[in-house]
């Protein structure tokens, strides 16, 4: 695996690969890699000849009082993990390489839909930072395919819409959520969970799964299901950020005739904010 810290260096290497007709895949990350990230790399390897993984802790998507300063930076360990997974190129730029004119005057990419709800309501400006850095990465790497995890469902939906709106020639692939044995979705922020919280924090996934099961059984009282779910999470000792039953494509509140539904939730532990989701496809009962 080769590591590049500059845009020009990476572009030159990829131009040579592209000239040979190689299909290029991109896995954007912020580092502190775990098994779920490596699964994204493997997914990309299954359909691409060359895989580029980026590691960049993007300050533009962190809001005030968020954890940019203390976000784990484990580049040496990450590098070894990527090598073992079969990644071909690591792109690890500095802040000044990605934002040479500074953050204050950086041109932004704004998706006007799906970004002010759910995680967007709790993290103003977050998705503007995501769409901007992903657009930059797409322009730098020019991948044929980019792989994102389903855990960040809203992020995936926003990126898909952005790519569609801007006619980006990139296939957006979703990789399944990688879970711990008890169902907890793997996340870099799981390291912030305390020993006392760990045995019960999977209440988020269990609650979303229970709601999905009840919808599948015919319960269409979405408001009541959301309310019951929030109470269950609160009873476990956590503060609910949101719990919502949504149309899978638009993320608008689900209607009773929607067939593609995603149940999304976020909670706060003492030191972390965790997100998860469960999707289901309903048979046409008409």
What whole-number distance in Å separates Cα of residue 94 and Cα of residue 3? 13
| pLDDT score for 70 | 76
Cα separations in angstroms, 208 against 66, 117, 232? 26, 18, 11
Q: Give, rounded to a whole angstrom, the gap between the first and last alpha carbons of the chain.
A: 54
37 noted as active-site residue: yes
pLDDT at 53: 98
Q: Enter the pTM of the model.
A: 0.93
Report the candidate in 218, 247, 236 with the shortest Cα–Cα distance to residue 274: 236
Which pLDDT does position 64 carry in this prediction? 57
Average pLDDT, the chain: 95
DSSP state of 253: B
* CATH classification code of 188-278: 3.30.1300.10
Nearest alpha carbon to residue 189 among 70, 39, 78: 70
Q: Which of the following CATH numbers is that of domain 2-175: 3.30.70.920, 3.40.50.620, 3.40.50.20, 3.30.420.40?
A: 3.40.50.620
pLDDT at 72: 81
pLDDT of residue 52: 98
The one catalytic residue in 5, 37, 80, 92 is: 37
Q: What is the pLDDT of residue 188?
A: 85
Low-confidence spans in the chain with pLDDT less than 50: none
pLDDT in tens, 185-203: 999 889 899 999 999 999 9
**Closest to 92 in 3D by CA, of 113, 111, 74, 107:** 74
User: What confidence score (pLDDT) does residue 130 get?
Assistant: 96
The domain segmentation of the chain, as residue ranges, is: 2-175, 188-278
Q: Is the Cα dihedral 42, 48, 51, 57 positive or negative?
A: negative
pLDDT, tens digit, 9 for 90 and up, residues 148-168: 999 999 999 999 999 999 999
């Amino acid at each position: 695996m080769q590591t590049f810290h500059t845009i020009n260096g990476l572009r030159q290497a990829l131009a040579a690969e592209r000239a040979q007709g190689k299909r290029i895949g991109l896995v954007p990350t912020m580092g502190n890699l775990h098994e779920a990230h490596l699964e994204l790399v493997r997914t990309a390897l299954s359909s691409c000849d060359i895989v580029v993984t980026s590691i960049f802790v993007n300050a533009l998507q962190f809001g005030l009082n968020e954890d940019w300063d203390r976000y784990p930076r484990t580049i040496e360990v990450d590098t070894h993990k990527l090598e073992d997974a079969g990644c071909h190129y690591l792109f690890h730029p500095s802040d000044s390489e990605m934002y040479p004119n500074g953050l204050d005057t950086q041109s932004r990419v704004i998706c006007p839909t799906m970004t002010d709800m759910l995680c967007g309501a709790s993290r103003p400006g977050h998705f503007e930072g995501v769409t901007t850095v992903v657009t930059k990465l797409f322009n730098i790497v020019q991948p044929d395919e980019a792989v994102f995890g389903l855990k960040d469902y809203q992020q995936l939906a926003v990126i898909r819409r952005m790519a569609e709106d801007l006619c980006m020639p990139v296939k957006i692939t979703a990789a399944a959520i990688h879970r711990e044995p008890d169902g907890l979705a793997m996340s870099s922020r799981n390291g912030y969970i305390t020993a006392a919280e760990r045995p019960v924090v999977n209440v988020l996934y269990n609650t979303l799964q229970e709601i999905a099961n009840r919808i599948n059984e015919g319960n269409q009282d979405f408001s009541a299901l959301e309310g019951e779910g929030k109470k269950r999470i609160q009873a476990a000792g956590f503060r609910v950020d949101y719990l919502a039953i949504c149309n899978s494509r638009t993320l608008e509140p689900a209607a009773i005739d929607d067939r593609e539904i995603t149940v999304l939730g976020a909670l706060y532990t003492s030191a972390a904010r965790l997100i998860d989701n469960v999707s289901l496809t309903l048979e046409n009962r008409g």
